[in-house]
Structure 1
């Protein structure tokens, strides 16, 4: 076997075990940090309640705050452990879509050129949806494929298969 082929085979084996781990660590940190900010901060959801999509726009702001805070504290821990990864990813995607709709989407835009101005990480009045969109894209492989081999999901599945 050629040295390059041997190296690529080794990288493939390593990737099969750990390719998802950087995504899980990154997303767990980002969402947990947001949950801690809510835990230590004051509820500002009443100011944007009308911007929430259904059904969150009909829930009381205090309930939305609690749901968001606890989801952003607990679901990242599941991601970190690789336990219920698909469910945790779906929950975090819902939170992110609500955040885009309520906070990050431009309040007014008349064309794609104006909408594209919101694709930024600094808020200059055109929205600020680049970072939440990055989170959605990073969550997608975890939702579709799961946590991979280096996870409690994989360990539990292997234990169940061994008993069957």
Structure 2
């Protein structure tokens, strides 16, 4: 019984082999706007980015802030382009993963896991519970003095917690691309490898 079930399982896996490039494509296309917006935002406000990277009082306090800002900006913007094309996917996934790891540790770590403050979530911490009070106060103000229905017609009013959730997710997706590559049939990596073999 188990052996026949397992044989069916293996056959199903073989049928999906032709589609094995699609998950890599989906991950790449998911990450493209994330890294493009992050990189170009840093480049468009480069002086502010350098100041934020270097200032220990209100920023990250990193050494060599100009170099660090240039590397992070270029990695994210160029990374978005390479991911879109599926070219050098494994190679660019390494500095992108490092960038997300550094962001998680230096920018988001002290805020815990959650990117959006939700006191009912399983990983809610003290900053999330503090944000809940701010959220209720903001709702009261908006309901009293603003058009609350108009403001929330597209979704709930939220307060960001700025935790590591998003940077950790992007880090994990970069690791997946490091292993999977750009994807069969759907990346320049695939066609370049075929050309080089011939």
TM-score, length-scaled by structure 2:
0.63
* SS of match in other structure, 2:20: helix
Residue 131, structure 1, aligned to residue 166, structure 2: yes
Q: Which residue of 2 aligns with 1:158?
A: 194
Q: Distance in 1 between matches of 2:43 and 2:166?
A: 21
1:104 counterpart = 2:108: yes
Match of 1:122 in 2: 116
CA–CA distance in structure 2, aligned partners of residues 139 and 88 of structure 1 = 9
Question: Following the alignment from structure 1 to structure 2, what is the Cα–Cα distance between the partners of residues 129 and 89?
Answer: 19
Larger Rg: 2
Which 5+ residue runs of structure 2 have no aligned equivalent?
1-8, 118-126, 129-160
Q: In structure 2, do the counterparts of structure 1 residues 9 and 93 end up closer, same or farther at CA, with 3 Å as the change threshold?
A: closer
TM-score for the superposition, normalised by structure 1? 0.75
Q: Tell me the CA shift for residue 159 of structure 1.
A: 0.9
Separation in structure 1 between the aligned mates of residue 42 and residue 15 of structure 2, nearest angstrom: 40
**Which residue does 1:87 correspond to in 2?**
91
Residues 3-22 of structure 1 aligned to structure 2 (within 5 Å): 12-13=16-17, 15-22=19-26
Residue in structure 2 matched with residue 32 of structure 1 by the alignment: 36
Instruction: Give CA-to-partner distance per residue, 1:22-78, whole Å, 9 cap, x none.
Output: 10011111011111211222222123343xxxxxx432x122111111111101111
What is the CA RMSD across the aligned residues, in angstroms?
2.4
User: How far does residue 101 in structure 1 lie from its aligned partner after superposition?
Assistant: 1.5
- Given the superposition, is the C-alpha separation of residues 14 and 102 from structure 1 closer, same or farther in structure 2, using an over 3 Å criterion? same
Q: CA deviation at 1:16?
A: 2.1
Aligned partners of 2:164 and 2:13: how far apart in 1? 38
Q: Is the 8 A contact 1:76 1:88 kept in 2?
A: no
Residues in 1 aligned to 2:78 and 2:99: alpha-carbon distance in whole angstroms: 13
